[in-house]
Structure 1
Amino acid sequence: MQNQTAGALRPGTDTPPHVAILDDEAEIRRILADALGEAGFRTSTYSRASDFEAALKRTAPDVCLVDLGLPDRDGLALVHRLALESGATIIIISGRANTADRVTGLELGADDYIIKPFEPAEVVARIRARLRKSRPAPEASANLARFNGWEAQFDQYMLVSEDGTQVPFSHAEGEVLRLFLDSPKRLISRHQMQESLGGAAGESFDRAMDVRISRLRAKLGEDPKNPRLIKTIYGAGYIFLGDVTWS
């Protein structure tokens, strides 16, 4: 594995975005890492899916570049798992140029598909575009969010469904909901929740979060055994999988 750190920072943070590169070709890894490093990204490179998946247990990259022709794992299956369990932007980089593979990759959860050979500058541009699109920063004063057929009115503490049904939520539930809506498709750990919402870490805080999230799921009509929007990543935290717009 190779790591590089460069100086450009993501607005509002003190660290550059992190791109994880998974490709069994050493030259491809080098080209991508060099181009991204020069553009201000941190990078980690992996030649095997097993090493890549082990690293994901310790860190959460902002972007995953994944080759489909891996020596130890089906690339499409890996992409699908990442889409379900990771908050990262997923971009496939593959020599498979046929339409069927491209459509399948996107349907399984990839955000973009780049065909080899590629121009490194194009990869950098697509990553920047995807990061801007997937994580828009809402205005601090924004009180109205729309996602997956719902409207959250934070000034009224009200959820409104597509058919106009109004479902009130509490201030405590609203704090958790706003946290999810501010960071869609990003893993939010228990520690991050504690830091953002306050309170002493421990079993009582964890139980309080479990109750709030359970109530939010019920109000959103989620199946408690298989929720679509608020996913639990056991041992790691939660991911909100909706598409969010603020106004």
Structure 2
Amino acid sequence: MTEQRQHILVVEDDPATQALVSAYLKDAGYTVSVAASGEAMRQVMARSRVDLVLLDLNLPDADGIQLAHALRRQSRMPIVIVTARSDARDRITGLELGADDYVTKPFHPRELVARVRNVLLRAGTKPVNGSVVYRFRGWELDLVWRRLVNPDGEQVSMTSTEFDLLAVLVARAGQPLGRDALLEATGQPGREVNDRSIDTLISRVRRKLGDTRGGPRMIETCHGHGYRFTVDLE
């Protein structure tokens, strides 16, 4: 079986820098996608797995620091910030928000490739890891942009708590999760919420998934153990 190449997403709005970095990464054996904006980044992540993001901070439609923060909140995918901002405060902020490395322009492309390789090695990233989009039975769950898309391509409205609950169940597919773990995952550890409250929340998520009693459950009740997401991820 042929090993899948690691996929690097270059988020950079300067065409010359984008082309130069992409060429060096491809020569080093990586699969490369490019995006010139935050929205383009989201589109790439929605349709393919990404193992590492090279993120410029100065984008036309979004602040790179905020994008890095959103990525890190929802994923352990490696992030390398590449920017002309050389101020120490920007560097510290980027690293504190969870970036794995911070490279200032101008830089030598070979140095950047070496940094990418080292970050991937430290992260122990395998070719198919680092995805922030889960896919199952035609559904897509986007952890960065916090949206659920049904098989018809329509976005399903969810509350923040519903999304967090589904996200933790999908991320640990096949594993029973107790009510305490589900409370913690939805940002409510220690809150006085009875078992019926979690059951009600599960029922709401099931309805939005079309997970009815007419067929095998996507979210299965494990009596005495909580709930389990039963569907294999694609």
Taking structure 2 as the reference length, the TM-score comes to 0.58
Question: How is 1:213-228 mapped onto 2 (pairs within 5 angstroms)?
Answer: 213-214=177-178, 217=181, 223-226=184-187
CA deviations 1:20-74 (Å, max 9, x no partner) are: 0011100000010000000000000111111111221122210100000111101
The residue number in structure 1 matching 2:59 is 70
The residue number in structure 2 matching 1:120 is 109
**Distance in 1 separating the partners of 2:91 and 2:5:** 29
Structure 1 residues 85 and 59 mapped into 2: Cα distance closer, same or farther (>3 Å)?
farther
* SS, match of residue 176 in structure 2: helix
Q: What amino acid does structure 2 have at the position aligned with 1:61? A: V
Structure 1 residues 226 and 186 mapped into 2: Cα distance closer, same or farther (>3 Å)?
farther
* SS, match of residue 57 in structure 1: helix
* SS, match of residue 212 in structure 1: coil
The residue number in structure 1 matching 2:35 is 46
Structure 1 residues 190 and 50 mapped into 2: Cα distance closer, same or farther (>3 Å)?
closer
Question: How is 1:116-195 mapped onto 2 (pairs within 5 angstroms)?
Answer: 116-135=105-124, 189=134
**Distance in 1 separating the partners of 2:60 and 2:119:** 28
Structure 1 residues 214 and 189 mapped into 2: Cα distance closer, same or farther (>3 Å)?
farther
Aligned length: 158
- Match among 84, 90, 95 for residue 79 of structure 2: 90
Alpha-carbon RMSD across the aligned residues, in angstroms, is: 3.4
Q: What amino acid does structure 2 have at the position aligned with 1:105? A: G
- Say whether 1:31 aligns with 2:44: no
**Distance in 1 separating the partners of 2:46 and 2:82:** 23
CA contact (8 A) 2:50 2:130 kept: no
**Distance in 2 separating the partners of 1:36 and 1:184:** 18
* SS, match of residue 85 in structure 2: coil
Structure 1 residues 90 and 23 mapped into 2: Cα distance closer, same or farther (>3 Å)?
same
* SS, match of residue 213 in structure 1: coil
- The unaligned stretches of length 5 or more in structure 2 are 137-168, 190-208, 210-234
Q: CA deviation at 1:211?
A: 6.1
Structure 1 residues 28 and 214 mapped into 2: Cα distance closer, same or farther (>3 Å)?
farther
Q: What amino acid does structure 2 have at the position aligned with 1:68? A: L
Q: What amino acid does structure 2 have at the position aligned with 1:43? A: V
- The unaligned stretches of length 5 or more in structure 1 are 1-11, 138-182, 192-204, 229-234, 236-247
Q: What amino acid does structure 2 have at the position aligned with 1:34? A: A
CA contact (8 A) 2:46 2:133 kept: no
CA deviations 1:106-137 (Å, max 9, x no partner) are: 11111110000011111111111111110178
* SS, match of residue 39 in structure 2: helix
Q: CA deviation at 1:86?
A: 3.2
Percent of residue pairs bearing the same amino acid type: 31
CA contact (8 A) 1:63 1:88 kept: yes
